[in-house]
Chains A and B, each alone.
Chain A
Amino acid sequence: MGRITLDKVAKRFGDVEVIPPLDLTIEEGEFVVFVGPSGCGKSTLLRLIAGLEDVSGGQIRIDGKDATLTPPAKRGLAMVFQSYALYPHMSVRKNIAFPLKMAGMDQAEQDRRIDNAAKILNLTDYIDRKPGQLSGGQRQRVAIGRAIVREPAAFLFDEPLSNLDAALRVGMRLEITELHSRLKTTMIYVTHDQVEAMTMADKIVVLRAGHIEQVGSPLELYRSPRNLFVAGFIGSPKMNLIAGAEAKKHGAATIGIRPEHINVSKTEGAWKGRVGVSEHLGSDTFFYVHDTGLVDDITVRVPGEFDLKSGDTVYLTPEADKIHRFDDKGLRFE
């Protein structure tokens, strides 16, 4: 259970077309991440699937059945919101029980499922507390608990980690991924954070202005981005995009090279430049190199420490087989 098909789904708010007709299939059990910059329509797309917004055209099928006009309650999907959206007047237990109560499930089965979810998510110790007495991470766990007890056809996550601090975010990211491998239920996850997308997804859907720019596994997107937008969006730090004479040498309008695919030398190399800012992460060092005559800044990523100071002259050599070539329309070609 949990195959979701979007067939020419479109959304307009008044005269503004937020999502032009779009096709997408989400396979059963898949972890799909919608990623893109703010305002790209990723949340709207999720809300269309949830039924919280009405589509302006097209059809949504869940497990083969047309669900376009089905109210959210009847779609068998569970959603986790960015703000957690817990019921503040109910205890953790009552929050988790709410969807079961609405479904009219008998008490014994309710208790069994709640206890199970509480155990999976480590909620047992504060099951009788109110949401106001919990930390952000605990609240998010309750929200996830409320979603999993229903055993839905699919989970929808709307930027669930954005309100958490960085350390907690990494922990919860792992928990959600583990939850997916345990439950094997379809999950659709919306985020603007490409690191979340890369680490969690089976399949990433990159969106821009309501258009799907590319669909693929994280490594597919990393290795062969379909166009300049995806090339620039996926990967951290960002891919260096170089236009002009240097690109012409490779027979392209623009070439792209990732910071980690540039070799650094103090003595010789293809491009000469001057070190600007360097960022030391311990495991890696990022250099921002000026005055190469190519683009303003070339970002370079070197594993471990590298002894270069601001103002030093540096020589850069891109790995030839890691150069991405793009035509004048911004599309990648081999």
Chain B
Amino acid sequence: MARAISTRRKIGITALAWALGLLIFFPILWTFLTSFKSEADAIADPPLFLNFHWTMENYFAVQERSDYFKHFWNSVVIAGGSTLLGLIIAVPAAWSMAFVPGKYTKDVLMWMLSTKMMPPVGVLIPIYLIFRSTGLLDSKTGLVIVMTLINLPIIVWMLYTYFKEIPGEILEAARMDGATLREEIIYVLTPMAIPGIASTLLLNVILAWNEAFWTLNLAASKAAPLTTFIAGYSSPEGLFYAKLSAASIMAIAPILIMGWFSQKQLVRGLTFGAVK
């Protein structure tokens, strides 16, 4: 009897999970489908689900009108560069907070997190002005710097949580074995934290790749990443849903593929601290 209830419950929960999953996935699916429709089919009422004429014309049109690969490359440089730079700063920072905590370590961590509570638009003007006077506007360097700063608190927090799980005695053993601080971090801490660092890296690449506010405001053409590429198909061109969808799919495809192949690492990254 108890078994029957639990089976029914299992089916219910599974159905609910699938329903939620599909609900979350639906916008992406719809975008995907729309990208293969003609502009007329895209705005058809009632909407067409699968019974439309499939076409690749939007993709050709998008690639003809704007340079996908230039934007793609900018995204790679900005997301990858800011992640690497972030890690280089965050590994030693998280090391010191996890293994030689001081009186104010907890406060510093909270303060770093609190910067994420600030609406970015609040500092847009000052940063814009600084960038203008230092010539960083519309430059990849500028965007790498901004992205690094935006995501640094999250990188430090994640690494801190992972490092906390590493027993301090192992690092002391390394010190006794004659390792300098640098060698201790390179040869002992980092390899042990590789799973943690990998999921931090993945999550950060995704965050930086999808970040739109700063990239749209600080880069217009030369350093513009894929977010600008998508935005280019929204308002000024009128309502070209199919082309906008094609551009969106092209922009998210690389990160979607990367995410697909690193699911396991990502799940650990997203639930960090929650499960051991």
Q: Which residues of A contact B172 (CB under 8 A)?
A: 52, 72, 79, 81, 85
Stretch with Cβ within 8 A of A (4 or more), from B69-77, B131-139, B173-181, B267-275: B173-181
Q: B169 contacts which chain A residues (CB < 8 A)?
A: 81-83, 85
B174 touches A98 (CB 8 A): yes
Q: How far is the CB of B243 from chain A (nearest CB, A)?
A: 49
| Interface residues in A, total, Cβ within 8 A | 23
Which residue from chain B places its CB closest to the CB of A152 in the assembled complex? B176
List of A residues within 8 angstroms of B173 by Cβ: 79, 81, 85-87, 146
Given A52-B175, A81-B169, A81-B172, A87:B188 Cβ within 8 A: yes
> Does A103 lie within 8 Å of B178, measured CB to CB?
yes
- Verify if B192 is at the interface (C-beta below 8 Å from A): yes
Q: Are B176 and A73 in contact (CB under 8 A)?
A: yes
B179 pairs with A102, CB closer than 8 A:
yes
A33 at the interface (CB under 8 A from B): no
Contact A83 B177 (CB under 8 A): no
Nearest-neighbor residue (CB-CB) of B190 within chain A: A89
Chain A residues near B48: list those with CB within 8 A: none
- Nearest-neighbour CB distance to chain B for A80, whole angstroms, equals 9
Question: What is the minimal beta-carbon distance from A241 to any residue of chain B, in angstroms?
Answer: 38
The answer, yes or no, to whether A77 is at the interface (CB within 8 Å) is: yes
Contacts of B188 in A (CB 8 A): 87
A residues near B47, Cβ cutoff 8 Å = none
Q: Select B167's contact among A74, A77, A83, A146, beta carbons within 8 Å.
A: A83
Q: In this assembly, does B191 line the interface, its C-beta being within 8 Å of a C-beta of chain A?
A: yes
Task: Tell whether, in the assembled complex, residue A72 and residue B167 are in contact, meaning their CB atoms are under 8 Å apart.
Answer: no
Structural contact, B170 and A102, CB atoms closer than 8 A: no
Contact of A73 among B167, B170, B177, B194 (CB under 8 A): B177
For chain B, residues 127 to 183, give those with C-beta under 8 angstroms from any C-beta of chain A.
167, 169-170, 172-180, 183
How far, in whole Å, are A150 and B179 apart by their CA atoms in the complex?
Answer: 13
CA distance A79 to B171 in the complex (A): 12
CA distance A84 to B183 in the complex (A): 20
Given A79-B173, A102-B183, CB of A85 within 8 Å of CB of B178: no
Measured between beta carbons, the chain B residues less than 8 angstroms from A87 are: 170, 173-174, 188, 191-192
Q: Is B187 an interface residue (CB 8 A)?
A: yes
Q: Are A73 and B178 in contact (CB under 8 A)?
A: yes
Nearest residue, chain B, Cβ from A99:
B177
Query: B194 to nearest A CB, angstroms?
Result: 8
Which residues of A approach B to under 8 Å, CB–CB?
A: 50, 52, 71-74, 77-79, 81-83, 85-89, 98-99, 102-103, 146, 150
8 A-B contacts, Cβ less than 8 Å apart? A52-B172, A74-B178, A77-B176, A78-B176, A83-B167, A85-B173, A87-B191, A88-B170
> Which residues from chain B sit less than 8 Å from chain A, CB to CB?
167, 169-170, 172-180, 183, 187-188, 191-192, 194
